[in-house]
Structure formats: structure tokens, C-alpha cells
Amino acid sequence: MEKFISHTGTAVPLRRSNVDTDQIIPAVYLKRVTKSGFEDGLFAAWRNDPEFVLNKPEYAKATILVAGADFGTGSSREHAVWALQNYGFKAVISSRFADIFRGNSQKGGLLTVVLPQEQVEEIWEAIEKNPATEVTVDLEAKNVRVGEKSYSFEIDDYTRWRLMEGLDDIGLTLKNINDVSAYEEKRAIFKPKTLPAKI
Amino acid sequence: MQVEQGDLMGKTLAEKIWADHVVRQSQGEPDLIYIDLHLLHEVTSPQAFDGLRLANRQVRRPDLTIATEDHNTPTLNIDQPIADPVSRLQIDTLRKNAQEFGIRIHSLGDANQGIVHVVGPQLGLTQPGMTIVCGDSHTSTHGAFGALAFGIGTSEVEHVLATQTLPLVRPKTMAINIDGELPAGVTAKDIILAIIAKIGTGGGQGYVLEYRGSAIRALSMEGRMTICNMSIEAGARAGLIAPDETTFAYVKDKPHAPQGADWDAAVAYWKTLKSDDDAVFDVEISLNAAELSPFITWGTNPGQGAPLSGQVPHPADFSDPEEVGAAERALAYMGLEAGQPFKSIKVDTVFLGSCTNGRIEDLRAAAEVLKGRKIANNLRMLVVPGSAKVRLQAEAEGLDKVFLEFGAEWRQAGCSMCLGMNPDQLSVGERSASTSNRNFEGRQGKGGRTHLVSPLVAAATAVRGTLSSPADL
């Protein structure tokens, strides 16, 4: 996983709440067996509309998505994270994220930043007024800087450390695999096994 | 030894299951949690297996892992190769991965194929007190057995395959108390739709929901699964119900249920799986079952629901400006007028099925309404059993004949029109009454308009052609 320390780019305002994962990437686009190529499906239904904010040339190069509350609700599809990353997004800002989406984004290195709705509104206004506004999402300093303004955000230290180091979660767990073996020794004997199959 | 305050306080059910599965705890890190059962399907697993191959890793516990094909599978002509080459490749990939890593798979055509959340319980692999995960948000379904069950993303699928564990932060707990007796014609689906309308699609975020109270105790396992299934629609990754005699009776004699002395040991343990009387939940909410009525959704998220007896709301009635905007967009998308009675809304397609309402009891309830009646003009009804076994059971009971004589289509098992990954889709502007779980824009097909309903409302709607309950017949 690529390290995330700080990212500077331009941002696109998505003034919608409850953007569910079926909007981020509809089910028909989930059939690929790779992690790449999902950018075509990103917001597929909305992108047919020339007025949709992602279609506006002034936001074409944006790498930070600023969305309404409850972003990423619905299905567990990590394809939603891949689609955002494949399209070029490095970070998403919202006042609230769905749990599974947030977990997925943190596994894949897409930074999800939670800011209060009033601050999201301020950022929307700034980037609508001037789409070229430089926005920095700084994980090291735990703040988002928009022009002259700075907004600090919270993130747990463990996730921050893992993202800044670009560490593979599985590798970290495998360092403690002896604990897993010890746990398995004392698991209740009546717990079911899928093999051998009984039908 | 220093006694922590937590040790003196009662524990909730979720906290007990959590504590029983902690492999490793370290200050400043998430807990490492052991996973008892890992369910796989074709959509969210291929990239996880690829990751294993790239890192030269094995599946740690194939004997705690099981795969089935459900999201892409066609519900017609299943004896022929899948027409869509991309769907076919995804299913072939799952089959190859299962073979390479020694994982049990129930493929299309097998009597145990079906929606992953129907298959686990029917095989008896879903049992109280377990941790169960799947790359599918409706894994919360298994919480009905008093298991801690939740959906995970593909990175986590890979993590579980490699280590049989997940690093997780312990969620907060929310009690949802539903006491009183449900009126006739009101079902588990109406309860959960009413809960989601009350707390909103984000209300459960960060929580495990525990459904409690006399109305929950009175439900069958099928009804409990319907409720836990839609916990995710309230934003909660998991929902659960303490196991009781209803649960034990359901699990007993299923293929993978414990036998003999193991059964006794298991039941003794399962009986400890309830929230202590002095346990403190982070949040508690209550509903009176006697006040509930058949419930439907009118909008484009599952929180936009209301009693079927009402009218389409006016966006201006909402106090939150964000909700006003969301309601305006929803009405435009759904092609509805504020003030229109719900029962005047004409429906094109009725879908009976999904991991929410595709079990045998759901089919029986609908068939009871449809028996001796005829389908409304210009309406199609798809009946899609949740698993091949449910289909066989329904046929043994003659339900297939009831559906066919009514004028409905009797299909093969799978996720089908719940999400339209296979050919079962709505067309632009087509309106459905669907027993599934999500009414998102385009969920059932691009431009499709979905009303979430119970199996009873689905059946009555298929008779009358407009949103209806059996009481209207």
C-alpha cells in the first residue's frame, strides 16, 4: 500500500447526502476480477448528466472529493474504494461515513476525513467560488487546509500510523500468528467446521 | 490483581461474544478477533485470492470457510452456460479459487447453492455465539442466531483467508426494545422498516444493534433473520438477537449442528448468551409493536419509509434542510407526487425473494395470499427462492403451483433482482414492490423505482396492481 502522509490538489464538491455504494459504483460494474479499471463505473448513472459536477471541466483534475453526510452507505463492495482511487481520488471529506466503507478505504489507502457539516459547507463554498483553490489533506498534521483556512480532524493513532507507513494489515497480523494458534488450541470442540461436508 | 471496573458490570450479548473471540489485545491497537465462519461468494473474493497468490500465502482454515454462487447466477436456464461472459468469468474464477485453495463450494445446480445468507443457516453452520463474516453487508442476517456477524470488504476477506482473524475496534451497543403484540398482517419486515425510518440510515453507525422484547421473542427464526438482515440499512454493521428455545429448535438436526454430548455442551454455552440484566447499552430505543402497521418505502434510501395507509410526504414537512433536498430528489426520481395516497401507486413488477425475504416462511406467507387469485393486468411477479433447497421445499409443499397458477414466474435461486447483477433487472422508469433490502437509485436496474415491502404486501400488490396489504383484498 502506498504511504499517505499529505496530499495537495484541488477538490470537487458533491452536494449530496446518503451517497450509497450503488451510486458510487453500480452492481453491473462489479464483475471484474481485478482491482483496476473501475473508474468507468464511478458514479456511472450520474455521469450521464453533463451537469453532474464531475463532468464540469473546472473539476476535471480534482483529487479530493468533498461529499455530503453518510457517504458510502449500503453494500460492503470495496470496488467503491477502488473506483474512487482508479478515477484519481486520494481523499474523501464528509461529515459522516458508513462503517464498512470507511474500513475499506483505510485498508486501501484512500484517506477518509471526517469534518463537521458546517466546515464541509465552508469548503463547498470555497471550492465552488474558485475551483482552482488548493486543498491540502495533511495526515501528519491532522488537518485540512483550504486557502487561508485550516480545519483539524481526528483519526485514531493506529490507523494514522498504518496509513503513514503504508503497512499491510495482514503482514502485521502474521507477526502475531502464534497468538492465533494459541487461541485455536482452546476453541470449543462443538464449533462447526465446513469440512468434511455434511449435507 | 487490579480489577477493572468493566469486570464488575454486566455485559451485553455483543460484549460477551467479543470477549470470547479476542486473540490479542494491546494498548493503542485494535483487538485481534477470531473468526469462526467465513462465507464466500463470487463478487467480493477474486481480488482477495489474487492477493494471497501474490504474497505466496495459504488459506489458514479451509475447514472454517465455505463458498457459494449467488450474485451473478441466472434464475432461468441454469443448465446452460451463463450468457454474460463477464459474469461467467467471475463464477469460473470462484470455482478455480475454491479448487486451488481446498475450499468447499456449492455451485449452481447443487442443492445447497443459493444466497450465502440462506445457505449458512440451512446447513446449520450458523450457530449462536459465533463470529461470522462475509464480503457482503447482509452478513448481519446471521445475528438472528445470537452470532456476531458482519459484512467485510475484500481486503478483510483476504485477511480472514490468510489469518482467520480480523483487527477490529469494538463497536458501541444499542438496544432496540420492541414489546407488545404485532397486529395481524404486520410482519418482521414492517418492524425493521419502521426502525430504519425512526433512526435513519446513519442511526446505527458504529453500533451493534441488539433487538429485544416480547415482539422479537415471538418471532420465528425466519422473521428474526429478516430483521437482523437489514441492520446495515440503519448503518449498523451487525444486529443480533439473544438465542432461545426457538433458536435451538431451528439449529437442532441441521447437517452441521452439534451431535450428542457436543449438542448438550453447545446448548449449555448458548444459554449464557444473553445481555446481563445490569448490562448498560450505549443507547436504548423502544417501539411498541401494537402500534405498527404494514410499512413501505417511498424514497431512494431505506430510511424514507412510512405506513402503507399514508400518503407520499411533502418535502417541506421535513425539518432538516438536508432531508428536504433528499426528499425532493427522491420524489423526482421515483416519479411521485406529494400527497398521493400510497395505495394509489401503480406497480409494474413484484419481486419476492432475496436474503431478506427469500426463505420458506416468506414464500408460504405470500402463497397463502395468492391462492385462488389471479395476477393484476400488465404486472409481472418474480418469485425467486433464497436457495435451491428452499425451492425444493416449496415444490414439495406445492407452493410453486400456487405461484404459477396465480400468474407469477417461478425461478431458480439467487440474489436476482435484489441488485440486478444477473439479467433480472428493472428497466428505466419501471416500478417495483420488492421484498428486498435496498431502494437506492438504480439498485434493481438503471432508472428502476423500488418500493421495499413485506412478502404479504408484495402478494397483495400483485393481486391489486397498486401498493396494497392483504386487508385491502
| C-alpha span between B409 and B422 (Å, rounded) | 16
Query: Is the model's pTM score more than 0.80?
Result: yes
Asked whether the beta carbons of residue A23 and residue B442 sit closer than 8 angstroms, the reply is yes
* Cβ–Cβ < 8 Å for A71, A96: yes
* Cβ–Cβ < 8 Å for B31, B287: no
Is the pLDDT at B28 greater than 70? The verdict is yes
Q: Does A198 touch chain B (CB under 8 A)?
A: yes
Listing DSSP states for B360-392 in one string gives HHHHHHHHHHHTT--PPTT-EEEE--SBHHHHH
**Alpha-helical regions (H) of chain A:** 21-24, 44-47, 79-87, 99-108, 117-129, 157-165, 169-174, 177-185
Asked whether the beta carbons of residue B37 and residue A192 sit closer than 8 angstroms, the reply is yes
| C-alpha span between A100 and A106 (Å, rounded) | 10
Closest CA to B426 of B404, B407, B406, B451: B451
Residue B388, judged by CB atoms within 10 A of its CB (0-12, 13-18, 19+), counts as buried
For residue B322, name the pLDDT band (cuts at 50, 70, 90).
confident
Collect all residues with Cβ–Cβ distance below 8 Å to B359 and sequence separation of at least 6: B118, B222, B225, B386, B390
Omega prior to B255 cis, within 30 of 0: no
Average pLDDT over residues B327-347: 97
| C-alpha span between B340 and B264 (Å, rounded) | 56
Closest CA to B187 of B294, B302, B308, B285: B294
Tell me: the pLDDT tens digits for B246-262? 999 999 999 999 999 99
**Side chain identity at residue A139, one-letter code:** L
* Cβ–Cβ < 8 Å for B196, B230: yes
Of A165-174, B92-101, B368-377, B380-389, least confident by mean pLDDT is A165-174
| C-alpha span between B423 and B312 (Å, rounded) | 31
* Cβ–Cβ < 8 Å for A17, A66: no
Closest CA to B160 of A107, A36, A160: A107
Percent of chain A past pLDDT 90, that is, above it, reads 97
* Cβ–Cβ < 8 Å for B435, B170: no
| C-alpha span between B148 and A161 (Å, rounded) | 28
Percent of chain A past pLDDT 70, that is, above it, reads 100
* Cβ–Cβ < 8 Å for B237, B271: no
Is the pLDDT at A68 greater than 50? The verdict is yes
DSSP single-letter state for residue B225: H
| C-alpha span between B420 and B432 (Å, rounded) | 13
Average pLDDT over residues A116-125: 98
Is the pLDDT at B378 greater than 60? The verdict is yes
Average pLDDT over residues A14-19: 95
Q: How far is B325 from chain A (nearest CA, A)?
A: 9
Handedness of CA B51, A72, A136, A88 (dihedral sign): positive
Between positions 266 and 295 of B, the ones with CB within 8 A of A are 266, 269
Is the pLDDT at B4 greater than 60? The verdict is no
For B99, phi then psi, to 5°, come to: -65, -45
Taking CA–CA distances from A170, the nearest residue in chain B reads B159
**Side chain identity at residue A32, one-letter code:** R
Can you read off the three cell numbers belonging to residue B344?
Answer: 394509489
* Cβ–Cβ < 8 Å for B336, B329: no
Q: Give every strand in the sheet of B238-240, ordered side by side.
A: B238-240, B207-212, B172-179, B283-288
Q: How far is A119 from chain B (nearest CA, A)?
A: 15
Tell me: the pLDDT tens digits for B340-369? 999 999 999 999 999 999 999 999 999 999
* SS3 of residue A163 by DSSP: helix
Taking CA–CA distances from A185, the nearest residue in chain B reads B23
Determine which of A33, A118, A161, A183 to mutate to test the interface with B (most B C-beta atoms within 10 Å): A33
Asked whether the beta carbons of residue B152 and residue A100 sit closer than 8 angstroms, the reply is yes
Asked whether the beta carbons of residue B266 and residue A100 sit closer than 8 angstroms, the reply is no
* SS3 of residue B414 by DSSP: coil
H or E segment to which residue A124 belongs: helix A117-129
Taking CA–CA distances from A102, the nearest residue in chain B reads B153
Collect all residues with Cβ–Cβ distance below 8 Å to A141 and sequence separation of at least 6: A6
Residue B213 CB coordination number (10 Å):
17
Average pLDDT over residues B237-242: 98
For residue B9, name the pLDDT band (cuts at 50, 70, 90).
confident
Burial B409-424 (b: 16+ CB within 10 A, else e): ebbbbbbbbbbbbbbb
Average pLDDT over residues B285-295: 97
Alpha-carbon Rg for chain B in angstroms: 22
pLDDT of residue B1: 38
Asked whether the beta carbons of residue A176 and residue B32 sit closer than 8 angstroms, the reply is yes
Handedness of CA B469, B470, B472, B473 (dihedral sign): positive
Average pLDDT over residues B106-132: 97
Is the pLDDT at B2 greater than 70? The verdict is no
Instruction: Say which of B32, B263, B440 has its CB closest to residue A173.
Output: B32
ipTM given for this complex: 0.94
| C-alpha span between B10 and B378 (Å, rounded) | 57
**Side chain identity at residue B44, one-letter code:** T
For B120, phi then psi, to 5°, come to: -55, -55
Q: How far is B152 from chain A (nearest CA, A)?
A: 6
Of A87-91, A106-110, B247-251, B309-313, least confident by mean pLDDT is A106-110
Q: What residues of A are in contact with residue B158 (Cβ under 8 Å)?
A: 170
H or E segment to which residue B129 belongs: none
Asked whether the beta carbons of residue A73 and residue B43 sit closer than 8 angstroms, the reply is no
Q: Does A174 touch chain B (CB under 8 A)?
A: yes
For B131, phi then psi, to 5°, come to: -105, 125
Tell me: the pLDDT tens digits for A92-105? 999 999 999 999 99
What's the CA angle centered on B95, arms B94 and B97, to 5 degrees? Answer: 65
Q: What residues of A are in contact with residue B127 (Cβ under 8 Å)?
A: 191-192
Can you read off the three cell numbers belonging to residue B109?
Answer: 445446480
Across-strand partners of B311? Answer: B341
H or E segment to which residue B213 belongs: none
Asked whether the beta carbons of residue B24 and residue A100 sit closer than 8 angstroms, the reply is no
* Cβ–Cβ < 8 Å for A164, A155: no
Q: At what angle do helices B360-370 and B221-229 cross, to 10 degrees?
A: 100
Collect all residues with Cβ–Cβ distance below 8 Å to B55 and sequence separation of at least 6: A170, B162
DSSP single-letter state for residue A48: T
| C-alpha span between B225 and B242 (Å, rounded) | 12
Instruction: Say which of A76, A173, A198 has its CB closest to residue B135.
Output: A76
The Cβ-side half-sphere exposure at B227, using a 13 Å CA radius, reads 31
Omega prior to A196 cis, within 30 of 0: yes
Is the pLDDT at A131 greater than 60? The verdict is yes
Q: How far is A3 from chain B (nearest CA, A)?
A: 17
Is the pLDDT at B208 greater than 60? The verdict is yes
pLDDT of residue B7: 60
Instruction: Say which of A177, A188, A195 has its CB closest to residue B104.
Output: A195
Q: Are strands B148-151 and B165-168 parallel, antiparallel or unpaired?
A: unpaired
Between positions 43 and 102 of A, the ones with CB within 8 A of B are 45, 68-70, 73-79, 81, 96, 98-100
Handedness of CA A171, A173, A174, A175 (dihedral sign): positive
Alpha-carbon Rg for chain A in angstroms: 19
